[in-house]
Amino acid sequence: MSTRWFADMVETPRGRLVGLVLLCLILFFFCLGSNRALTAHEVLMAGTAKQMAMSGNWIVPTIGDHTWTEKPPLPQWLAGICALVLGGFNEWTMRLPFALSGVVVVLLTVRLMTRLFDARIGWLSGMVQATTVYTVMYARLAESDMLLLVFVLGAITVFQEVETRFATLTPTELHRFRLAFWVLVGLTNLAKGVAFGAVLIAFTCGGWILLRRDWQAIRRWWSPLGILLGVAVAVAWPVAVVMYDPEALELWKRHLFDRASGTLGYTQPPWYYLVQWPLQMLPWTPFLVLAAPASLMAARREAGSDRFCWWWFLGQMCLLSCSSGKHHHYLIYALPALSPIVAQGLVSAASQLADVSRSWRRWTVGLPIAAGGLLIAGVVAGGLRSEWRIDGWVFVPLVSVGCVLLAWQLAQRNVVRSTAVLLSVIVLGHIYAQVVVMPRVDTSAADKRFLAEVERTVGREQVLAACGSQEMAQHIFYLERPIIGIWNPADLPQALPPSDQIFVIARGNARAELALLGSVEQILQSTYTRREKSPSDRFTLFRVKPAPSVAAK
């Protein structure tokens, strides 16, 4: 098995950069738009982005006839621009900005960890960052998390550039770094929620200054122009929205404080994040456990790079744990701090592999035995359940072959080839999960097919409306033809043009409300709608013939 190309790639800076970018392209972009429909969270961003482009109002996001100001609009702006430039609103154009954000996150990780440690740890940290479960998951979703991570990680990278190079920086360079830092802090307010990203940055960077008792650092980061620019970027959109819709301010307050108190949902116990990070750091969690003791000892001895990474991770995790409202994706802004710890584990494993005095017999024997067990289990599972056939008869044998190859290279003590095999198995697992597993568990696929059938059934000359709440964003996004979104069915007569019949998309249980307007006939119904409790909860196409008294309104 020739891996000379892999060795050449990892031995040069340019080769490492090219290799990382190729790795990101495979993991983040392969089948990005065709493997599954937009999720319920994705379609909120996508539907509001499409309505922005159609209405020309790029300031206040709306869903139907209601404003949707729960989240800031930078993700919608980026997705809308992609759609307009690339020729259409689809899964690919909606997810593209966030896949690109994933690439930026990986490159920022390399830059930051190279600055904190060395070039080898920096490159390995980037490889780890690109292949962790949480990075691949959120880089392939049209949601704001990966975009916010760019700004948080970017600000921390700028912070460490200054802290580690301050003695050699010219006044002009320092001025530029300070401006970049404060603008990045301000941009976090446009990415996800009010003040969330700024608090994470301030806690991590400000807390590090306090831990070191470096009072001169406060002067280093004092920049009236930078602070003014950051504040301007942060408040420009909220001020514009409040001028248009004063109720938005109360909404943001409720979201901020009610989510922290747990009354708005996502309520979890204090230890919630302790069981989340090992899952999100897969498949590298074993190497993290291997390297953690030595890294923690180094952090205890001196206020160096290891201590900063542990402060970043543990500090943010403790801060987030103080809130009753918790969600697993809130933790991803702390997880890049663990990438260099994993990288140290990889370096330690490589040095042990090269040490001829150490025995690897357990692995060289255990991996083939495990491969055989997996192969038998896969064949049996594929025979018992038809839906598991591709898993048991295709994917499991490939993993088994990877285990055997890895055992072979470990026996030969070949570090480069062992790394190549391990990385190949990890990439294969991610691709399989995205191309095979995720479409299988796609809870929005049936509704996407339903909306395609609605498109074919209702002529463009017919009046088509949708009723309901935020879920109308899905109808607005997937229907090519114009659609009138009305939150309250009782408002249909006032919102729609006079017609002897109208077509309405709503949950099946809205039929009683629609019947108050006139005669109602069910035309189509989805075969499954997310979170349905019964078929009456499914999306349904109704034909409503308004009563004369209603039509006259």
**216 shares a domain with 107:** yes
Q: What 3-state class would DSSP assign to 541?
A: strand
Helical residues (DSSP H) of 322-358, grouped into ranges: 339-354
In a domain, residue 248? The reply is yes
Same domain, 419 and 319: no
355's tokens: 């040490």
* Distance separating alpha carbons of residues 403 and 198, to the nearest angstrom: 44
pTM for this model (two decimals)? 0.92
Q: Indicate if 84 and 220 belong to the same structural domain.
A: yes
Residue 526 within a domain:
yes
pLDDT value of position 478: 95
| Same domain? 223 vs 300 | yes
| Within-domain flag for 242 | yes
On whether both 280 and 162 belong to a single domain, the answer is: yes
User: Do 324 and 395 reside in the same domain of the chain?
Assistant: no
Structural domain ending residue among the three candidates 285, 320, 346: 346
Residues of the chain with pLDDT under 50: 1-2
Q: Which two tokens stand for residue 529?
A: 């709608």
Residues 243 and 224 in one domain: yes
Give me the pLDDT at residue 353, please.
80
Domain boundary among 406, 440, 474: 440
Inside any domain, residue 488: yes
Q: For residue 486, is it within any domain?
A: yes
Q: Which of these, 501, 526, 525, lies nearest to 514 by C-alpha position?
A: 501
* Edge-first strand listing for the sheet containing 518-525: 484-486, 464-467, 502-507, 539-546, 518-525
206 and 278 inside one domain: yes
Length of the chain: 553
Residue 30 lies in a domain: no
Opening angle at CA 468, ends 466 and 469, nearest 5: 120
Alpha helix stretches (DSSP H) within 245-338:
247-261, 277-280, 285-301, 305-321
**Residue 385 exposure: Cα atoms within 13 Å on the Cβ side:** 8
Write the pLDDT tens digit of every residue in 289-341: 989 999 999 999 988 899 999 999 999 999 999 887 778 889 999 999 999 99
The identity of residue 492, as a single letter, is: L
> Are 121 and 346 within 8 A, CB to CB?
no
Evaluate whether residue 390 is within a structural domain: yes
- Separation between Cα atoms, residue 363 and residue 406, nearest integer Å: 9
pLDDT of 20: 93
Number of domains in the chain: 3
Fill in the amino acid letter for 426.
I
Q: Which two tokens stand for residue 221?
A: 């980061």
In a domain, 124, yes or no: yes
Nearest to 299 by CA among 224, 208, 164, 431: 208
> What does the pLDDT look like over 4-41, one tens digit per residue?
555 555 667 787 888 899 999 999 999 898 778 999 89
Q: Are residues 458 and 371 in the same domain?
A: no
Give the model's pLDDT for residue 391: 76
Q: Residue 383 and residue 389: Cα distance in Å, rounded?
A: 7
User: Does one domain contain both 414 and 315?
Assistant: no
Q: Is 251 exposed, middle or buried (CB count within 10 Å of its CB: 0-12, 13-18, 19+)?
A: middle
Measure the CA–CA gap between 264 and 282, rounded to whole angstroms.
30
Asked whether the beta carbons of 463 and 496 are under 8 A apart, the reply is yes
* pLDDT for the residue 1: 41
Query: Tokens in use for 240?
Result: 């514009």
Same structural domain, 136 and 282: yes
- Token pair 């008294």: residue: 549
Bridge-partner residues for 248, per DSSP? none
8 Å CB contact between 526 and 493: no
Residue recorded with tokens 């500090």:
315
Same-domain status, 361 and 249 = no
The range of the structural domain enclosing residue 222 comes to: 70-346
Dihedral sign of CA atoms 28, 29, 31, 33 in order: positive
What pLDDT, on a 0 to 100 scale, did the predictor assign at position 139? 96
- From 346, 366, 398, give the residue that closes a domain: 346
